[in-house]
Structure 1
Amino acid sequence: MQDHTIEFAEARRHDSLQERLERAFIRGRLSRRAFIRAVTAAGLSTTGLQVLADELEAIRANQTERAAKLQSSYDYIVVGTGSAGCALAGRLAQRTEASILLIEAGDWDVAPSVMNPGVWFTNLGTERDWKDVAIATPFTNNRPIPEHMGKVVGGGSSINATIWARPFKSDLDHWAEVSGDSAWGYESGLAIYRRLEDWQGTPSARYRGKGGPVWCQPAHDPHPLAPAMLAGCRSLGLPVLDDLNGAREERGNGFALMNQIIKNGQRNSMARAYLYPVLARENVTLLVNAHVDRLTFSGQRVTGVQLNRGGTVAQVEARTEVVLSAGGVNTPKLLMLSGIGDEKQLRAHGIKAVMHAPEVGRNFQDHLLHGGCLWEPKEAMPHRNSAAEASGFWTSNSAATSPDVNLVQIELPYASEVVAKDYAPPPTSWALCAGLVAPKSRGTVSLRSAKPDDRPVVDAQFLSHPDDVKALAAGIELAREIGNSGPMRDFVKREVVPAKSLKGKEMEAFIRNGATTYFHASGTCRMGKDSQAVVDAKLRVNGVQGLRIADSSIMPRIASVATMATCVLIGERMADILLPPT
């Protein structure tokens, strides 16, 4: 994305002040009265301030006390508070009095840049981001590709875009087939979505839920560019739907306004949906700024975790289970640091293997977002919501079982660093980007060293499979057709990128130079019924006891949608496995 330095600097200036106030309050350094007085005096937003103050006060009172009195053991330990971890912990806390310890390496999610969906991208590269980078390869023209992941309460649901996209039927039915468990199939998943959603759009008895913890709605008061894109799709004979979830999951192709987790103008992350309602409970302890260095064992049984809090190392036992929800990069890293992985690779770092599991860290997958196809508008267009409001799925290959291309309309000049340099799009430009959502390329995550503080090596191998290049080429051509269609003319002064049809090597170079990702790292601890799978259908890590995984790493094949909603499904399934619903 291009550098909007002046615009974002102003947002960060206000963010830093309110962030300091909220952190001071939640850590007990400000009284409730002093917090409200300070926010008001600073001229910051006071919308919902009394409710926010009450919420933070209750959480602070409980969590400050419980973190200060860390117990030596808990019934369940959940490592990571991303989308899956939030869903799992929230459901467990509601359904049992068992003690639950959640461990988050990042801080609280109180930064205004988290809560304001319109500046979500300003979180990238900050302390709320793990800042991993996929190493350069010839397949991306020797460009390293950032792999942003949330290092904050709420994980990616707190720092990434606010898109609620549910997996295709073919995705979940494939998982059911390879796991040997029909509970991973589409009909079971659909029942879970109906119970967890609080859908604000047109009701649907089959597809949508009401009254659940996850608020989701069609893009509210979208920029006119969004319906114009849909009109452009319709003019080309592409299917335009009332809802981008629901029927699309079964029928395949379709375009519509996005579903978003924006409530009253603010992000309603999975932390807000699942964790905040239970953080005042006596059986829930959330540690922030706490790094899990490795798992602890007794023989082949995982007994707990070794964690580091500001340089103080402690061990905490799990009486029942440890569940890793640290994501597609950190979960395999933690397994390998703990001696679960390829024995030869572990030995090279001086780590004794507890369990030889060569598939740990393999099968890495992510969605690629091409940055991008851009147009200069006739006049400046301030973005709305999360700056992306219309999208769609399309099958470029007639042999595919579900769409392999996702088109995303972005109300900003979204471009890779190479495309931005080569074409210099005006800062008012908008983009229509082709995304690869069914990649055939596979990469790896491996240890850099045995030091917990060292980030792992992400060798994504993006675009190493020729079919991925073909799919993106088709998607780029479709994006240009839509962007240059009649219904879009009111928003087009000129096409800036690529401004002409590209063929052969020229198109290939454009694709490799424009490749970025959606930040959906997945697949590195895949689920399956075969002997090489890292976890089984119950998400138990094969070869050891007392350890499960519930996050994007278990995906045998990445779901062909933004992964937040799929990770929530994984967390909900984990809760049902641990505590079957009555």
Structure 2
Amino acid sequence: MITGRINRRRFLQAAAATGFVIAGGIEALADELDAIRANQDKRRASLARVYDYIIVGAGSAGCSLAGTLAKETSARILVVEAGDWDTAPSVQDPRLWFTNLGTERDWGDISVPSASVNNRGIPEHTGRVVGGGSSINATIWSRPFKADLDHWADVSGDPAWNYENGLEIFKRVENWQGKPNAKYRGTGGPVWVQPAADPLPLAMKALDGCREVGLPVVDDLNGDREETGNGFGLMNQIIKDGRRQNMARAFLYPVLAQDNVTLLVNTPVNRVVIEGDRAVGIECIVDGKPVTISADREIVLSAGGFNTPKILMLSGIGDEAGLKAVGIAPIVNSPEVGKNVQDHILHGGCLFEAPEAFEYRNSAANVSGYYKTDSSLELPDVSIVQIELPYASEVIGKKYAPPPTSWALCGGLVAPKSRGTVRLRSNDPTDRPIVDMQFLSHPDDVKALSRSVEIARSIANSKAMKDFVVREVAPGKKLEGEDLIDFVRDGATTYFHSAGACRMGKDNKAVVDSKLRVNGVRNLRIADSTIMPRIVAVPTMPACVLIGQKMAMILKA
């Protein structure tokens, strides 16, 4: 209905036929969608050429920022999104999340092959749709560790970024549906969060297996593990009544009927227009034609892990030599744009054949955890995720040929030391950038991921899980030495959590300062995962919501 493919009458008929129920009534929802569509059609048809704020990207951070700024101010706000509306069934149904990967809702970047992952090119899926990653990811709501946010506060020189302040923001935006906890959880906010609903016996036995091998199991994965660093349990998920509640639904939809908010979908941004030392507007493609739109106050890039540095470099902000090499005149020499790129590694995988098929629940992943393999570590170095499908890299899948009844217990690397780069392929905005992640290039990353593989195997082979394991499919036995390292390199995939390409810091080499201002340019800021000096040791969606909230607070101040 939002996209105009069906009218209000057809929407109501379809909802009645499927038995779809929503609080407040389906007719109220139809009225809301009608108002949103009418408002946005009108505003696109008479598009203004000047706004107070332009926000590039409607991902988790962009939605968090735009919705909050629009709700709490009367500013004229333009949100520009390269992708389409988030109305596809594969977005709405969390069980289908992985079917979005490689489609038009995904930017489709692939890291260049590197020796550290046995010369494999690894996909880096990022959202090209309203809601961004929160529309195509596995719905996990996992908040940063205390050590994550305190590190940001330290390197930025601004205590406003610390854990205590972040926790208060999370409590304000959450609508937590689990066991009440006044210290850690909030209710009544826009973000619906619930413990994994009606989990399979497989999931609950995995937690028994954790206990059996001495791993700590907690009631809530967004509780004291944020301070201790350790904890395994049922995931927190942004799923309500079996439907995804993405950050567009949480923050952006509630303000789209307002007259001060315009959302342009299917509108890629080529560059930021800079006059002297001031960002004055953007150049974007509206209905196939280049259009320049101005901002009276600020432009905020929330375009995501690879597109934000790409837009900066196309605008003349980046490493001077690299810009000249692709025919772009440098405006600001900022050598660290596109450097410091990080992501979490998800190993695919340790596979186990179940005695019979089962229908997976929620997003097919309901149990996870974090663990410090050395108590002296500041942060956990490994994670474990149970996946109710035979999740495997292309190499592991081909070598071990898991039966369709297989499930995975995947080790993960959440505090990577390897760093990659993003650079321009050319000065053509339609060209995707060159993503060179250099996964597992640091030897400590290989050691940590190897440890996570062994932890995953120990859980799956515990007595608690015997009823769900006919045999261990992959690796099939304990591996050591080069055999283990090869298995780790062959199985490396990612969580799709690209971060760090425009890091925040108090030093003069940082791309942005603690107020998220791009150094060297006035009226230009960044609010997305790229500002992370060090990637948080958890899925990045909640951290991006936090960044969007912080940006809104800064702009309102």
Q: Do both proteins adopt the same fold according to a TM-score greater than 0.5, normalized to the shorter chain?
A: yes
Give the structure 1 partner of residue 238 of structure 2.
261
- Name the % identity: 64
Give the structure 1 partner of residue 8 of structure 2.
32
Picking from 312, 319, 325, the partner of 2:296 is 319
Letter in 2 for 1:352: A
Query: SS at 2:482's partner residue?
Result: helix
Query: SS at 1:359's partner residue?
Result: coil
Q: CA deviation at 1:379?
A: 1.1
Between the two proteins, the alignment pairs up a number of residues equal to 554
Picking from 172, 176, 188, the partner of 1:195 is 172
Give the structure 2 partner of residue 409 of structure 1.
386
Give the structure 2 partner of residue 550 of structure 1.
527
Give the structure 2 partner of residue 357 of structure 1.
334
Kindly indicate whether residue 441 of structure 2 is the aligned counterpart of residue 448 of structure 1: no
Provide the C-alpha distance between the structure 1 equivalents of 2:425 and 2:80, rounded to a whole number of angstroms.
Answer: 23
Unaligned runs of 5+ in 1: 1-24
Q: CA deviation at 1:213?
A: 0.4
Picking from 125, 130, 150, the partner of 1:153 is 130
Query: SS at 1:433's partner residue?
Result: strand
Q: CA deviation at 1:45?
A: 6.0
Q: CA deviation at 1:53?
A: 2.4
Q: CA deviation at 1:47?
A: 3.9
Query: SS at 2:484's partner residue?
Result: helix
1:50-449 correspondence to structure 2 within 5 Å: 50-449=27-426
Provide the C-alpha distance between the structure 2 equivalents of 1:455 and 1:466, rounded to a whole number of angstroms.
Answer: 30
C-alpha RMSD over aligned residues: 1.1
Kindly indicate whether residue 461 of structure 2 is the aligned counterpart of residue 480 of structure 1: no
Provide the C-alpha distance between the structure 2 equivalents of 1:552 and 1:31, rounded to a whole number of angstroms.
Answer: 37
Letter in 1 for 2:289: T
Q: Are the equivalent residues in 1 in contact too, given 2:355–2:405 (CA < 8 A)?
A: no
Provide the C-alpha distance between the structure 1 equivalents of 2:250 and 2:117, rounded to a whole number of angstroms.
Answer: 37
Provide the C-alpha distance between the structure 2 equivalents of 1:80 and 1:360, rounded to a whole number of angstroms.
Answer: 18
Q: Which moved more, 1:304-313 or 1:51-60?
A: 51-60
Q: Are the equivalent residues in 1 in contact too, given 2:271–2:315 (CA < 8 A)?
A: yes
Deviations 1:269-296 (A, max 9, x none): 0000000101001100000000110010
Provide the C-alpha distance between the structure 1 equivalents of 2:489 and 2:342, rounded to a whole number of angstroms.
Answer: 17
Give the structure 1 partner of residue 550 of structure 2.
573
Structure 1 residues 34 and 398: CA distance shift in structure 2, 3 A:
closer
Provide the C-alpha distance between the structure 2 equivalents of 1:387 and 1:31, rounded to a whole number of angstroms.
Answer: 33
Deviations 1:190-229 (A, max 9, x none): 0101100000011111100010000001101111111111
Letter in 2 for 1:307: C
Q: Which moved more, 1:391-400 or 1:481-490?
A: 391-400
Give the structure 2 partner of residue 497 of structure 1.
474
Letter in 2 for 1:285: T
Q: CA deviation at 1:399?
A: 3.7
Q: Are the equivalent residues in 1 in contact too, given 2:314–2:429 (CA < 8 A)?
A: yes
Q: Are the equivalent residues in 2 in contact too, given 1:397–1:471 (CA < 8 A)?
A: no
Q: CA deviation at 1:28?
A: 4.0
Scaled by the length of structure 1, the TM-score of the pair is 0.94
Query: SS at 1:327's partner residue?
Result: coil
Provide the C-alpha distance between the structure 2 equivalents of 1:214 and 1:39, rounded to a whole number of angstroms.
Answer: 24
Q: Are the equivalent residues in 1 in contact too, given 2:54–2:300 (CA < 8 A)?
A: yes
Q: CA deviation at 1:44?
A: 5.1
Query: SS at 2:373's partner residue?
Result: coil
Scaled by the length of structure 2, the TM-score of the pair is 0.98
Provide the C-alpha distance between the structure 2 equivalents of 1:473 and 1:335, rounded to a whole number of angstroms.
Answer: 37
Q: Are the equivalent residues in 1 in contact too, given 2:207–2:232 (CA < 8 A)?
A: yes
Unaligned runs of 5+ in 2: none
Q: CA deviation at 1:31?
A: 2.9
